[in-house]
Amino acid sequence: MVNILNKIKSVYFSFFPNKPHKLAKKVYGVYAYSFDDDDLLKQAFTHTSAIDYETQTKIDSYERLEFLGDAVIEIIVTRFLFEQFADAKEGELTQMRAKLVNRTTLASIARGLHFGQFLLLGKSGENDNLRNSSSILCDIYESFIGALYLDGGYRVAYDFTYQTLLSKHNRLLPAAEIQNYKGKLLEYCQQHDMDMPKFVTTHEEGPAHGKYFEISVLVGKNWYGTGSGTTKKAASQRAARQALTTLVNSNQEQSLKLSK
């Protein structure tokens, strides 16, 4: 694994060997990833003015990667919110996503990562001081995530988005209001003289900062519910909710049969 900043430096100077530029010494939060395809990394930071300036290069500008990255960020954030806020309605989730994914926030993140200093510009772009443009910074944050997605897949793009956006800007979101379905399930089992439910982690994936869990509920010898989420607590609550619904429906059906 190579520090992503060092990778950008080496690619930058190989791309424009006669155009030295003062780069930042480190990326905030140091994200290590080694690109298999250097051209994707070049493209993620290449402004249209650089294409005009370096007509011999076959590298496109970042605009297509920006288009892709925008969609990747949206699905990552949408899934994150869907899992974290199990009881939020569609309108509430949409509002939360808008607070997280907007040009001001994304530009601020890119500025903190010194992405403007990695931007490949032609003479006209340098004259227009585009490195400090919030609009451009937002664009290259999106294009970089698009490049990560193409080069390393969803998990790599998710990890970077989580580190730079979701973990640092969740203060923009309300506290998760998750009902205590585990408590309700325990109470239900006690009232109906059933074995106490056991919560079993059936699947776990991802790095320490971006885990994904699946948890199932065992009551006696039977499985009654499964839930997933980015924390064990959230996954357990969803599993408990499903188990409670299954048990209640099952008991209601048995009661109807006995009453006939």
Q: What is the pLDDT of residue 34?
A: 74
Q: Which residue, of 142, 172, 202, is where some domain finishes? A: 172
Residue range of the domain that includes 220 = 181-259
- Same domain (yes/no): 192, 97: no
Give catalytic status of residue 87 as yes or no. Answer: no
Q: What is the pLDDT of residue 20?
A: 28
- Same domain (yes/no): 38, 143: yes
* 225 close to 240: Cβ distance less than 8 angstroms: yes
Q: What is the pLDDT of residue 19?
A: 35
Q: What is the pLDDT of residue 67?
A: 98
Rounded CA-CA distance 228/155 in Å is 17
Consecutive H or E run containing 76? helix 63-84
Rounded CA-CA distance 247/252 in Å is 9
The CATH number assigned to the domain holding 230 equals 3.30.160.20
Low-confidence ranges of the chain (pLDDT < 50): 1-2, 11-30, 53-54, 176-178
- Same domain (yes/no): 226, 108: no
Among candidate residues 70, 83, 139, 159, the one labeled active-site is 70
- Same domain (yes/no): 46, 108: yes
What distances in angstroms separate CA 113 from CA 30, 116, 138, 160, one per listed residue?
Answer: 9, 8, 12, 12
Among candidate residues 66, 83, 139, 142, the one labeled active-site is 142
The side-by-side arrangement of strands in the sheet containing 212-219 is 198-205, 212-219, 222-229
- DSSP class of residue 202 equals E
Rounded CA-CA distance 1/137 in Å is 26
Give catalytic status of residue 142 as yes or no. Answer: yes
Per-residue model confidence as pLDDT tens digits over 2-38: 455 555 555 444 444 333 233 223 332 335 667 788 7
Total number of domains constituting the chain: 2
Q: What is the pLDDT of residue 118?
A: 86
- Same domain (yes/no): 127, 196: no
Per-residue model confidence as pLDDT tens digits over 122-150: 877 676 678 889 999 999 999 999 999 99
Q: What is the pLDDT of residue 97?
A: 92
